[in-house]
Amino acid sequence: MTETLQTLQKKMEAAAEALDFEEAKRCRDKISLMRDGASAAAAEEANFSGLTRQQPGAMGLGTSQQKVTPPPGWRPPPKPDPMTSGRSRRRK
């Protein structure tokens, strides 16, 4: 059965009012596919089980950079002794 955008919209709103959010989500995904140019039959056959919405803030400046993790067993170097830092061994 092929559905139009209007019938899918009504079906989505009815499912949301009945608190059936899974069905409303399926209808919303079909609507977005049909608006992007997919036929009604292709939208009906589409599998949405592996799709997840992007989390807020996942895109933007600096988010593509990996978090630096030290190699296993790495320890930071010891801090310098404050009594000897800044002093040279030569006398001037």
CA distances 88 to 24, 80, 81, 82, 83, Å, are: 74, 14, 13, 13, 12
Please tell me the predicted confidence (pLDDT) of residue 1: 46
Please tell me the predicted confidence (pLDDT) of residue 14: 93
The pLDDT averaged over each successive group of 10 residues in the chain (92 residues) is: 79 90 86 80 71 60 65 88 69 57
**Residue 5 amino acid letter:** L
Residue given tokens 């079906």 in the structure block: 11
